[in-house]
A and B are shown apart, each in its own frame.
Chain A
C-alpha cells in the first residue's frame, strides 16, 4: 500500500483528506507542522507528501526545500488555500500546486498521477 504523509495544521483538513485518500486505497499518515513532517520523513518513508504552505513554525515552502534536499525524487504536492504563494519561485521544487477545495478530485488525480 502506498504511503502518503499529509502535512497541515488544520485538523479538519486531516479528517477530510484522510477519509477520501484512504477510500482510494492509500495509507495516510499525519503531521501537524513542518517540523513534525521533517522528523517523520525517515520514520514513515512516505511515497508522496501533501504539504500545506501557511503553517506556524517552518512553513510549507521551507519544509519543501528541506524535503527535496533530503530526497529530490519524493513527490510533493503543495496544497494551499491561497494562489499567491505561486509567486514564490521556491514552490517550483514541488511537483504540483493545488488550491484547496472541498472537491478533492484534482488532488486525488494528482496523487494518482505521481504514485502511478
Chain B
C-alpha cells in the first residue's frame, strides 16, 4: 500500500508509492552525450570567462587567469543578478521589491574537461569543498547578502548545460524560503525538546540503521525518512554545527571521503544519473544556532515534477527510502 510520510523538519508530505517495487535498473537514464566543440571552462580559454575571484594551483609561479590551475571560481559572465548597486528596498502597496543585487559564481572543479565530479580524485574533490567555504567567507563580508546558495547541477535533465564539471553559488539579499522553513521547523522542535532536530535524526538513524548509506567519524549519509526523490541522500556532520563556514580544515578529508563514496554508490546503482546537490546552512553572519544544522542534500533527477507536485507541494517517490538505502549500501564500489 502507498504510504504518506511527513518530513519532520518542514512538515512536507511525501507519497511513497512502492507498489511497483522499483529497482535501480528500472530507472531509465538517457546517456547524455557531450556536445563537443569549444568549452569556455577549459584551460587555455580563461579569456572567455570573467577574471577569477579564486583559484587554487599546485603549479609554482602560477599566474591568475592562465592555465595551470587546479580549480577556478569566476563570476557568471551573463549574471541574472548584478553585484554593483544598492538594494533600494521599497513597497508598492502590499508588494515588496528591491533591486536585483547578488553574486552568481561558477566553481570550475577541475581543469580536465572529461572528469566528472563523481570521478574526481580525493585531492581534487577536497578543493571543491574548500572553495565553497572560502567563497562563503568572502561573500559573508558583504552586508547586502543574507545567504549564499551553493549548488551543483549534473546532466541536462538536472539543468547542467555544460559537461565540464562545475558547481555554482548565488549570493542573495534575502533568505530563501526553503532555508527559513528549515530554521523555523528546527526552532519549533528545539522549543519543545531543547535539542537540535537534525542531531536527533542522526541519533535515530544510527540506532535504527535502516536508512544509513555511509558514515565515518565525522559525517553520516542517510536517505531521509521522507525523501522527495528516489535515492535522495543527505550528508550531515555528526557534531552539531549550524554553519558550513565554521568547519575545521581537518574535517574536509572526512567530508570528501563520504561525499565521494555516496556519489560512487549512486553512480553504481544508476550510472550517469542526473542530479542536483545543494548546501544548506545558517544565514550569513548569524550567531551559531543550537536549532539548525548544516548539511548537503543530493537529489537524483529521476521523477517528473508535474501538476500534482506543483499544486500540492507533495512529492511522489516510487521507492521506499529503506530500500534505496539498501541498494546504495550494497552497491559495489
- Chain A contact residues, CB within 8 Å of chain B: 62, 64-69, 72, 86-93, 97
Contacts and interface: CB of A to CB of B under 8 A. Distances in A.
A67 B40 CA distance: 13
Contacts of B159: 87
A89 B37 contact: no
A69 B34 CA distance: 15
Contact of A65 (B35, B49, B78): B35
15 contacts: A64-B38, A65-B35, A66-B38, A67-B38, A86-B78, A86-B80, A87-B159, A88-B162, A89-B162, A90-B35, A90-B161, A91-B78, A92-B41, A93-B40, A97-B78
B161 A88 contact: yes
Interface in B246-287: none
B80 A65 contact: no
A37 to B, nearest CB: 14
Nearest to B108: A89
Interface in B215-237: none
Contacts of A92: 40-41, 48-49, 77-78
Contacts of B326: none
Given A65-B36, A90-B161, A93-B48, 8 more contacts: A66-B36, A69-B38, A72-B38, A87-B80, A87-B159, A91-B78, A92-B48, A97-B78
The 8 A-B pairs at the shortest CB distance, nearest first, are namely: A65-B37, A68-B38, A92-B40, A88-B161, A86-B78, A89-B162, A69-B38, A92-B77
Contacts of A62: 35, 37
A64 B77 CA distance: 16
Nearest to A92: B40
Nearest to B159: A87
Contacts of A88: 161-162
B189 to A, nearest CB: 36
B45 interface: yes
Interface of B: 35-41, 45, 48-49, 77-78, 80, 106, 159, 161-162, 166
Nearest to A95: B48
B103 to A, nearest CB: 16
Contacts of B161: 87-90
A89 B35 contact: no
A81 to B, nearest CB: 15
A111 to B, nearest CB: 18
A87 B41 CA distance: 15
Given A88-B161, A89-B162, A90-B161, A72 B36 contact: no
B236 to A, nearest CB: 30
Nearest to B106: A89
B36, B40, B45, B80: residue with the most chain A Cβ atoms closer than 10 Å: B40
Contacts of A86: 78, 80
A89 B166 contact: yes
Contacts of B38: 64-69, 72, 93
A89 B41 contact: yes
A90 B78 contact: no
Nearest to A63: B37
A61 to B, nearest CB: 8
Contacts of A87: 80, 159, 161
Nearest to A72: B38
A63 to B, nearest CB: 9
A68 B77 CA distance: 17
Contacts of B78: 86, 91-92, 97
A65 to B, nearest CB: 3
B164 to A, nearest CB: 8
